[in-house]
Amino acid sequence: MLNHGEHPRRIASTGRGQGSLLAGLLVFLALAGAPLLGLAQDAPGQTAGVAYRDIPAVGSRNIVWVIAQLHLLLAGFVLGVPIFAWICEIVGWKTGEKRYDKLAKEFTKLLTSSYATTALFGGILLFMLIGFYPKLMAYLGDIFFPSFVVYCILFLLETATLYLYWYGWDAMQEGSKKTLHLFLGFLLNVFAFFIMIVPNSWATFQASPVVIAEGSDLARAWAATWNPTWWPVNIHRLIANVVLGGYICGAYAGIRYLSAKTAEEREHYDWMGYVGNFIGVFGLLPLPFAGYWLMREIYQYNQQMGITLMGGFLSWLFILQAMLIGVLFLGSNYYFWMGITHRIPGSEVKYRRPIMAMLVILLLCLGVWMTPHSLVASLEEARKMGGTHHPLLGVFGVMSAKMTVANLMILVTFMSFIMYWRAGKEETAGWAKVAKSIMGGVLGVAAIVVIVLGVWGYFVPAIVRINYFSVAQVLIVLFVMLTITPLTALLLRSAKTTTEMVWGRMPPRAGYALVLNAVMVILLMTLMGYARSSSRVHWHIYGVMRDSSQYAYSPALGYAAALMSLNTFLFCMLVAFIFWVATMGEKAKAGGGGGKG
């Protein structure tokens, strides 16, 4: 492994008759859309002579920033949608309900509309990186050449599978053909997963490089791939892609619901919005745990990088993160609560008090989570307060408090879903009372233990709090989910429906809430992308290759916030355009049908 600050060594020349193959690989990656990194060599054995290029006034880093962020957001959507489209198709196949199959097909239509655009931005990104950072790309190409070949093969396989899956949908709906179609959906997700984790190795290598100078090309590429943050980022991005895909599909359904002309359309898109919100919440609940694991690995790899993220100038990003996640939790719960009070007649009075209690808990937790560690803006203020921390609010600015309230918000959101799941049903099983008492006891004890561990965390060393108390809080919350979910499912198997769910009655603000959730997720992903990149400070490859360009500094938070907002706006406009194109065929058919009538 290279030590931090060691001068980068050239790792074995690739000039062994690979010139034509490299040229072909570059062209293919550009057309196919390699997500982050590529290869740049003038000829076998020669390194590009220019280290950096720039565009005056605009700036090379700004261009790469915008193109990379748009590509990664599109890629997250394209890789997340196949997961729940395939699951919806399985549910429709098992239950015989056609609406699930229709929903899966509509999800896949959105996927096919976004696929080419994702590849287009990937190609643009690759050309920009090669043009602006040729020596960096040549260095990375030397290390990761075998994975480029693997990526090309995976991309070809996924493209072929997607075409078969989409265009064979109507032809593969009976008997063994349906099984084949489901198998194609499974393969599509397998290829998508590997297409995600291969480029992740290129990006995580820049933050936590592991390089060996001996061995074959394959051995060196594998050593660089299996770096300390590779799997934490893989899991974190997999879950985040599901969240992004779910909320964007929910926003699509919300917009279609607001513009629906018939009762049938309103019912369908109301139900689709519910499914999208459910998928988003399903991924949102474990997402903080994956983020916590990633931060632990960063601290273990390099403590200074962890301090830069959590205790340096980037620490204010996590206050913004808390606000965005808090709004996301509130929006998701609000949509569930509206579903209870509008889709289930007679539930308004019954669930009013529990909903109010959960709202108060969420707001209190959000207030603690977004409290900064330091509120000082000047030395005069510090003298007045007797230090850098507020005498009262400073207690809530440390990680022990924030981990506690984050786990409590997850528990409240989980219980909102359970309450929605059980609404309008009466448990008839003989052991129903015992089961409900057990679930209530598990939830109450878990909440108390999480709070006790959070308070106890103030009186123990940081290493104990991080390695034991925080892990224990996470395991307790996971235990609650894994206990209450199957018990609720067993109870509802024999439950009697007292009130039928009525779709298409949600007020317009439900559609606005779905759109808000999608925007919050996009902002959140742009923010965390900036945080991970800026944690490398003045290194292209942390501790290995120093950034010697004019952009060898981390952008100020205000400047970064402007770029993040711009990326969010551009992505929303891009997605709106893609969805508009995807619905043009439906409008044409509806218009044609109306003309014939």
Cα gap 517→249, rounded to integer Å: 11
Concatenating the DSSP letter of every residue in 261-302 gives -SHHHHHHHHHHHHHHHHHHHHHHTTHHHHHHHHHHHHHHH-
CA angle, 478 as apex, 474 and 484 as ends, to 5°? 145
Res 313: pLDDT: 78
Q: Are 171 and 137 in contact (CB under 8 A)?
A: no
Residue 35 phi, psi (nearest 5): -65, -45
Q: Are 411 and 477 in contact (CB under 8 A)?
A: yes
350: Cβ contacts below 8 Å, ≥ 6 apart: none
The region, left, alpha or beta by phi > 0 then psi within -120 to 50, assigned to residue 215 is: left
Cα gap 536→245, rounded to integer Å: 28
Cα gap 244→392, rounded to integer Å: 37
Res 392: pLDDT: 64
Residue 585 is given by DSSP the state H
Q: Which helix (H) or strand (E) holds 146?
A: helix 134-167
35: Cβ contacts below 8 Å, ≥ 6 apart: 71, 72, 75, 122, 125, 199
- Please classify residue 174 by burial: count the beta carbons closer than 10 Å to its beta carbon, then call 0-12 exposed, 13-18 middle and 19+ buried: exposed
Res 383: pLDDT: 61
Cα gap 443→32, rounded to integer Å: 49
Kind of pairing between the strands at 425-426 and 496-497: antiparallel
Q: Look up residue 113 and give its amino acid.
A: S
Res 37: pLDDT: 36
Cα gap 155→160, rounded to integer Å: 9
Tens place of pLDDT per residue across the chain (597 aa): 343 333 333 333 333 333 333 334 443 443 333 333 333 334 344 444 689 999 999 999 999 999 999 999 999 999 999 998 999 999 999 988 888 999 999 889 888 878 989 999 999 999 999 999 999 999 999 999 999 999 999 999 999 999 999 999 999 988 889 999 999 999 999 999 999 999 999 999 999 998 777 788 899 999 999 999 999 999 999 999 999 999 999 999 999 999 998 999 999 999 999 999 999 998 998 998 898 889 889 988 988 898 888 777 788 888 888 899 999 999 999 999 999 989 988 787 888 899 999 999 999 999 998 887 765 555 565 565 555 555 666 678 788 888 999 999 999 999 998 998 888 888 777 788 898 899 999 999 999 999 999 999 989 887 888 888 988 999 999 999 999 999 998 888 888 888 888 999 999 999 999 999 999 999 999 999 999 999 999 999 999 999 999 999 889 889 999 999 999 999 999 999 988 887 776 665 666 554 443
Res 388: pLDDT: 55
CA angle, 190 as apex, 188 and 193 as ends, to 5°? 105
Res 328: pLDDT: 94
CA angle, 427 as apex, 426 and 432 as ends, to 5°? 150
Res 596: pLDDT: 43
Dmax of the chain from CA atoms? 80
Q: C-alpha distances in angstroms, 67 versus 441, 534, 553, 558, 573?
A: 50, 17, 20, 20, 14
Alpha carbon 354 to its chain centroid, in Å, reads 30
SS3 annotation, 349-374: HHCHHHHHHHHHHHHHHHHHHCCCCC
Q: Are 188 and 82 in contact (CB under 8 A)?
A: yes
